[in-house]
Amino acid sequence: MRIIPAIDIIEGKCVRLSKGDYDTKKIYNESPLEVAKAYEAHGIEFLHLVDLDGAKSKHIVNHKVLETIATQTSLKIDFGGGLKSDKDLRIAFESGASQITGGSIAVKSPETFESWILNYGSEKIILGADVKGTHIATNGWLETSDQTLFDFVKDYHAKGIDFVICTDISKDGMLEGPAFELYQNLLSQVKVKLIASGGISAFEELPQLQELGCEGVIIGKAIYENRISLKQLENFILG
């Protein structure tokens, strides 16, 4: 199972929100690069980088942060937040993203998102399935669509999607544990490479997610709040 720490960016700084609410913003570090280098030093190979300014303004904003981390570390970065056009996507890949995550775009403009899967391939494009209850949320989680998680993922899996990041918004940033049941249900219905996200609060949850069949896990606040140490993650990766 891939260990994927998260760096969320607002105004070039490393922040975390609770339940996606911008009013709960807490700055953890002025330098995302410093944070990324600390991850790399502990044997971590992957990074989930989210452009929260981009998610709000509906176009890529913090691509310079992406470029800085991509050129100064060897981390494989999946980048999301505000990717709405072919131009946004091009900028993200040119700035060093290994993969991109599309969430709102997959709901609001399926033709565009499907063209990305065709043009870039399923290894490069991750489906972002953010859920409120069982419905897909969009636009930085400010809106809820009428699509259910299971139908949404099944539909895109049929169109070639392999990787899915699923975030239970009610758990995100709350340090109360991930949505085990939701992930179990999803994996029993569709065979995707599922990346768990939201609510990770303790190291013990990682083997449990691995057991469920998750391909990766995104960890954010639990690292910043010292609930999970980088040393623990290093040991987990080394197996």
Catalytic residues: 8, 130
Distance CA 189, CA 138 (A): 23
For residue 30, what are its two tokens?
């002025």
N-terminal to C-terminal alpha carbon distance within the chain: 10
Give me 206's structure tokens: 């990682």
**How far is residue 215's CA from residue 197's CA, in Å, rounded to a whole number?**
11
Using DSSP, state whether 82 is helix, strand or coil. Answer: coil
Closest listed residue to residue 221, CA positions, set 80, 10, 73, 19: 19
> For residues 7 and 10, what is the distance between their CA atoms, to the nearest angstrom?
10
Please tell me what DSSP assigns to residue 3. E
Note whether 66 and 96 are within 8 A (CB).
Answer: yes
> What is the C-alpha separation between 101 and 79, in angstroms, rounded?
6
Alpha-carbon distance of 96 to 180, in angstroms, equals 32
